[in-house]
A = this chain, B = another copy of it.
């Protein structure tokens, strides 16, 4: 049984484990004030070509989202998210647990547009309703789509004009930036969003996301919020060492590129077989629509999510690849797919 269920089924890239081994018995400061964390922050600042940002390492995506959003908002302010947004339906009300409503917008292809945001603002004119303040987007999105530079520029401009904070969930930012269709560079982000995070967990790390705060007014006292939410790890070096390893050369991007290529290989073959897809997703998640009988066959050797029923005979499945996805297994899977589909 080989799994395409998600991008966190294995441990860490071997280079990361090796880095942990090599530094293991060196004594250093706790709570992320160690040399490895500091060096990793510097490396990331160089990669994004901006030294005015603040960087914090936080253990996971939900943790990062809830700390950032609750730190950025006053009690009466709300977040806006597309209806498929991770914070809306897959974080057990973590944002609401910090006191903030999330306003859901239908959006398109898992993405938000200025017109969506204008609609929310129009519907929230006074103090009898929450005040929409933070725009939550993810890149790549929950359904594998990515934002183009111009789409992001438009969102940025709208948010600026309307005093909104633009926040990007980058759990799969590596995959987005390494997509063949991508025209964004990591260094564009500080100019386009107020804060974002670079996902480590789903791109080769054991644990850890790098939150990058770009807007000055959002930086103050941020470590207090991390600590208050229980996320200031005593051995913060665990994350520093990993991000150092991911960014000391091109490893972060190489791993994401591999993930995308593996998904792309499967996608290409499916397209050849004239299989349709639920969404257009040029990243490491694809959602082919297959006959139910084929799905059942595949399930005897492969693990994956059946995403949704499409009609009485077919369903969309979700296939996720990662830095760890084996090329051999992809080839075998394609072979089996071909057999099933012919």
Q: What are the residues of chain B within 8 A of A12 when measuring CB–CB?
A: 20, 24
Nearest CB of B to A265, in Å:
19
Contact A92 B25 (CB under 8 A): no
Q: What are the residues of chain B within 8 A of A96 when measuring CB–CB?
A: 96, 99-101, 130
Q: What are the residues of chain B within 8 A of A201 when measuring CB–CB?
A: 233-235
Residues of A46-66 contacting chain B, CB below 8 A: 59-66
Contact A127 B223 (CB under 8 A): yes
Which listed segment binds B: A67-75, A140-148, A290-298? A67-75
Interface of A toward B, CB cutoff 8 Å: 2-3, 5-6, 8-12, 14, 17, 20-21, 23-31, 59-67, 70-71, 74-76, 78, 89-94, 96-101, 104, 127-131, 201-202, 206-207, 221, 223-235, 237-238, 324
Q: What are the residues of chain B within 8 A of A225 when measuring CB–CB?
A: 75-76
Task: Give the docked Cα–Cα distance between A150 and B136 (Å).
Answer: 42
Q: What are the residues of chain B within 8 A of A78 when measuring CB–CB?
A: 93
Contact A230 B6 (CB under 8 A): no
A-B contact pairs, 16 of them (CB 8 A): A6-B234, A12-B24, A60-B231, A60-B234, A61-B234, A62-B227, A63-B231, A75-B225, A76-B92, A92-B228, A93-B100, A96-B101, A128-B232, A130-B224, A207-B235, A230-B231
Contact A75 B129 (CB under 8 A): no
Q: Contacts A2-B27, A6-B30, A24-B17; is A229 near B230 (CB within 8 Å)?
A: yes
Could you say which of B20, B127, B226 contacts A232, with CB atoms under 8 Å apart?
B127
Judged by DSSP, the binding face of A is loop
Q: Contacts A2-B27, A9-B30; is A230 near B129 (CB within 8 Å)?
A: no
Could you say which of B101, B128, B228 contacts A227, with CB atoms under 8 Å apart?
B128
Q: What are the residues of chain B within 8 A of A71 when measuring CB–CB?
A: 74-75
Task: Give the docked Cα–Cα distance between A231 and B202 (Å).
Answer: 16
Could you say which of B3, B127, B128, B233 contacts A207, with CB atoms under 8 Å apart?
B233
Could you say which of B70, B75, B99, B234 contacts A8, with CB atoms under 8 Å apart?
B234
Task: Give the docked Cα–Cα distance between A324 and B23 (Å).
Answer: 13
Q: What are the residues of chain B within 8 A of A202 when measuring CB–CB?
A: 234
Q: What are the residues of chain B within 8 A of A100 when measuring CB–CB?
A: 93, 96-97
Nearest CB of B to A141, in Å:
17
Q: What are the residues of chain B within 8 A of A130 when measuring CB–CB?
A: 92-93, 96, 224, 228
